[in-house]
Structure 1
Amino acid sequence: MELFSIAAQTSTPQEAEHYKRLVSEANQVLHTKYKSLDISCTIHEDMMLWRCREDDPRFFKGNQLQQVYDTAAKTLAEYILQEKEQQLVEKILEDDFDFPDPEEHEQILKHCRMILENNPELSESWNRRSDMLVQSIKQCLSERPLLHVDGFLTFRSRTYIKELREIVEYAVDEFLMDRQYEEFVGMLKYFVYFQQPQVPLVHVIHKGGQDLQLLDEDLNPLEYRYDEGVVVERLDQQDLQMEDAVVTTLISVSPAKIVIHTREPQMAVIRTLTQIFEQRIEICRYCPDCHAYFRETGKI
């Protein structure tokens, strides 16, 4: 009796070799557990056919068949995640979204790859998608032991494809937000470039995270300005009102020089200020003006 017959169409020699290796490893596992299985993997042009037979009636008395299906399903899930998933994501992007610019298209796919990669930080997403595929494949094999991988992905993996579509939608949103941010920063840079300095110096004390404090040249606190004539708006999903107020105030007072006192120059808020005010920015990691503050807060 044929336990399963699985056809997979590979698109490159590298993909075919990878699939063949995964199947070979699975076959070794199955042969170790069940010596009487007749397992083969044959290649016809770009189609690979993985077959498994068992003619001993005693094999079907326990749960061995489900264990065989489990091994086959895990092998196929790994193959799909590693070889087919990127193709599926690209097709979703092409079919459901309008980004004809190749550079924009590639940037969105880059966001997708970062989410889809199997790394420790995102392993929960990877494992969830793998479980979806394993359960669906086992269900298909239990109903009918003939399975074509591409047909399965088209007609029998709706939950998995829905998750991929949500990932693409998230990547598109991230891309649009990044583009908005770059356009917004560019507008502010242009505004600042043509603005005449009104005060010689402003100190920015970076307390940590998004928390900033503005001081004048005499180290007295500056009053925050919410100038309605300057468009400063949130461009992400977090509350950055402090950052908005700082940018608005700095643009309003237009200092010739801005000294940012920070122990975390890599933070996004520092990069934003540096992008907007460019040559007017000086980063200070240690000086007498900020030494006392950072010593009190334990940042030195």
Structure 2
Amino acid sequence: MIYDLRITTASGTAFPEMISQRFKWIREQGYSVSMLSKQLEDGREAYDIQLRGNHDNQIFRNEDIVYIFKHQLSELIAEHILLEWESTLVKKEIRKSGRGLSGEEQRTVYDKAVQFLNRCNENESLNLLMNYGRKNKIAHRVLDYIHDNKLLVVEGFINFCLQDYLTEIRFAVELAMEELKNEKEYNDFVTLLRYFVDTQVPKIQEVNIMMDENGVFNMWDGKGIKIEDNYMSYYLDDMLLNEINFDDVLISILITISPRRIILHNVAELGNEPVETIKRVFKDKIRMCSGCERCRKHLNKNTQP
């Protein structure tokens, strides 16, 4: 026997299967990798992993094989932590930081936090690279640790040697809780706006909305007549001071004139967030233009070289 290590981790994980499926190259060099498991009194599982063999040759010495084995084992343990411990760590942090949350809210925070950890960028390749970086960082810590130790208790190793990893989890949970808070405030805001819409007497039959290439919106009624600019001038000072944006002004004007029907043109250029807010506030009053003369002119203008 040239190397042995005991790893203690939670029971019922896929860790034994991971061990049995790895180390193919080392086995091909004539070495054997074995594992004995033992359930401890506290319910955890202890795995005694042994590397056996003595096949010094001109290319690899025994110490080279041991180093390669430790390196591969470190990567395996890092995967084990990310795949089977991260979920537990996130839930633990949510219980600690979100004590006032309902069960459903905790589940929402969990889903968001996991998404932040694994898919923090819209670029899929960048996500893969960042996740590889997280795994690689943990693997290096494991490799340093098992260089001088014959026992690795996974939970203790995480708590004492992976503080930066726990900080990432804490930050992801904080972001998730903040996003949940913002969503709740947004939903309350939409509910209030919907109340105003439902209690307002309609002042106009139809409003059409189109956003131009400069981000300025134009509105006209069902007869094609431009809606008076005095609605816009009411909010002009706040817009100049950057206290409100065009999206907020658009919604405020629509609530003020309370049309029976709202037709959205060139929806792709209106932006997803304001469109979704308008849909939620005005609900059944919303219509999407399927391609009128103004939309075609706007499209042709933007596609001309």
TM-score (norm. length: structure 1): 0.82
Pair 186,125 (structure 1): closer, same or farther in 2 beyond 3 Å: farther
Equivalent residue letter for 1:10? A
**Residue aligning to 1:147:** 152
Looking at structure 2, the residues matched to 27 and 225 of structure 1 have their Cα atoms a distance apart, in angstroms, of 69
**Residue aligning to 1:105:** 106
> In percent, how many aligned pairs have the same letter?
20
Contact 1:260 1:281 in 2 (8 A): yes
**Residue aligning to 1:179:** 184
Looking at structure 1, the residues matched to 225 and 302 of structure 2 have their Cα atoms a distance apart, in angstroms, of 18
Looking at structure 2, the residues matched to 198 and 21 of structure 1 have their Cα atoms a distance apart, in angstroms, of 69
Pair 4,172 (structure 1): closer, same or farther in 2 beyond 3 Å: farther
**Residue aligning to 1:32:** 28
**Residue aligning to 1:259:** 263
**Secondary structure at the residue paired with 2:209?**
strand
TM-score (norm. length: structure 2): 0.81
Pair 184,53 (structure 1): closer, same or farther in 2 beyond 3 Å: same
Looking at structure 2, the residues matched to 219 and 146 of structure 1 have their Cα atoms a distance apart, in angstroms, of 79
Looking at structure 1, the residues matched to 62 and 132 of structure 2 have their Cα atoms a distance apart, in angstroms, of 31
Uncovered stretches (5+) of structure 2, i.e. residues with no partner: 236-242
Give how far 1:263 is off.
Answer: 4.6
**Residue aligning to 1:198:** 203
* Residues 1:293 and 2:298 aligned together: yes
**Residue aligning to 1:90:** 91
Pair 297,61 (structure 1): closer, same or farther in 2 beyond 3 Å: same
**What are the Cα deviations for residues 133-181 of structure 1, in whole angstroms up to 9, with x where unaligned?**
1111011111213211122112211111111111111111221111221
Looking at structure 2, the residues matched to 184 and 227 of structure 1 have their Cα atoms a distance apart, in angstroms, of 22
Uncovered stretches (5+) of structure 1, i.e. residues with no partner: 229-238
Looking at structure 2, the residues matched to 30 and 187 of structure 1 have their Cα atoms a distance apart, in angstroms, of 66
Contact 2:260 2:285 in 1 (8 A): yes
Alignment of 1:1-300 (within 5 A): 3-12=3-12, 15=13, 18-33=14-29, 35-36=30-31, 38-45=32-39, 47-53=45-51, 56=54, 63-117=64-118, 120=125, 122-207=127-212, 211=215, 213-217=217-221, 218-220=224-226, 222-223=228-229, 225=232, 241-264=245-268, 267-298=272-303
Give how far 1:10 is off.
Answer: 3.1
Looking at structure 2, the residues matched to 248 and 127 of structure 1 have their Cα atoms a distance apart, in angstroms, of 46
Give how far 1:207 is off.
Answer: 4.4
**Secondary structure at the residue paired with 1:297?**
helix
Give how far 1:269 is off.
Answer: 2.2
Equivalent residue letter for 1:203? N
Looking at structure 1, the residues matched to 177 and 129 of structure 2 have their Cα atoms a distance apart, in angstroms, of 21
Give how far 1:191 is off.
Answer: 1.2
Equivalent residue letter for 1:105? Q
Give how far 1:75 is off.
Answer: 0.5
Equivalent residue letter for 2:70? Y
Looking at structure 2, the residues matched to 247 and 106 of structure 1 have their Cα atoms a distance apart, in angstroms, of 32
**Secondary structure at the residue paired with 1:258?**
strand
**What are the Cα deviations for residues 207-258 of structure 1, in whole angstroms up to 9, with x where unaligned?**
47x9451312134265354768xxxxxxxxxx98121111112122222221
**Secondary structure at the residue paired with 1:274?**
helix
Give how far 1:40 is off.
Answer: 1.8
Contact 1:41 1:48 in 2 (8 A): no
Looking at structure 2, the residues matched to 184 and 194 of structure 1 have their Cα atoms a distance apart, in angstroms, of 16
Equivalent residue letter for 1:73? S
Looking at structure 1, the residues matched to 48 and 79 of structure 2 have their Cα atoms a distance apart, in angstroms, of 15
Contact 2:264 2:287 in 1 (8 A): yes
- Number of paired residues? 283
Equivalent residue letter for 1:22? M
What is the aligned-residue RMSD (CA, Å)? 3.0
Looking at structure 2, the residues matched to 214 and 120 of structure 1 have their Cα atoms a distance apart, in angstroms, of 39
